[in-house]
Structure 1
Amino acid sequence: MGLLHILQHSLGVDQYGQGEQYRNYFVTGEGSIDHPICMEAVERGLMIRRAGNALTGEMDLFHVTDAGRAYVAENSPAAPRLTASQRRYRAFLDHDCDLSFGEWLRTYGREVA
């Protein structure tokens, strides 16, 4: 895992930096391959470190800073362009209804392109 991936994972976003940032933590301990990367992030001001405790299994707890959020936004690759069909299907998933996809297409699908 690289620095960008750890920051993205900590925030709960995808590899393009997209999605709701629904969390802000990463737990790892000394001896892990991720710990030195997190310590580098702390040195660069991208994360802060809290010492481990019983809740974290004595491993360190890291949080992404505002600078880390900016790093994710600036360094995440652009998401691939979606086709019209892919946009329609995502709109169906976001609609959260009792309709099948076919029924939804007949009712709402023309509005999405």
Structure 2
Amino acid sequence: MADHLASVAMTKDELNILQHSLGLDQHGRGDSRRNHFVTSEGSVDHRHCMALFNRGLMTRTVGFALAGGSDVFTVTGAGREAVKAYSPAPPKLTRSQQRYQQFLRYDGGVTFGEYLRGWR
């Protein structure tokens, strides 16, 4: 699979569509609970989705009624592999930045200062 992906060019817009479809950030991180992208013929996004569809990275449902007649694209297994292969690595965080990220995940109803003083 990785050899096949290396031979396929991935534009930034296409990668963004795959990541967005899966609910991931620009580094391919996140809890992927979704898998859809809705767009209509004639839009720039539709052109990118069709390119991904033609390469087997997305499937297409034409004129989906619940989407107002727009096309609905979903990411295939190969598309998920492409997201892993093409997403840039996240930036390295300092210890202070890591601690702040821990605070953001913490749901204790305290300020960052209180968190630092030990309100765990």
Corresponding residue number in structure 1 for 2:77:
66
Corresponding residue number in structure 1 for 2:18:
7
User: What is the root-mean-square deviation of aligned Cα atoms in Å?
Assistant: 1.5
TM-score normalised over the length of structure 1:
0.89
Corresponding residue number in structure 1 for 2:60:
49
- Spell out, residue by residue over 1:27-67, the C-alpha distance to the aligned partner (whole angstroms, 9 max, x if none): 01110011121111111111000012332111100000111
- Segments of 5+ residues of structure 1 without an aligned counterpart are none
C-alpha separation in 2, matches of 1:20 and 1:108:
27
What's the secondary structure of 1:14's corresponding residue? coil
Corresponding residue number in structure 1 for 2:97:
86
* Structure 1: 4+ residue segments shifted above 6 A: none
Taking only the aligned residue pairs, the percentage that are identical comes to 54
- Segments of 5+ residues of structure 2 without an aligned counterpart are 1-11
Tell me, yes or no, if the aligned pair for 2:110 and 2:119 is still in contact at 8 Å.
no
Question: How many equivalent residue pairs?
Answer: 109
Could you tell me how far 1:108 is from its partner in structure 2? 6.4
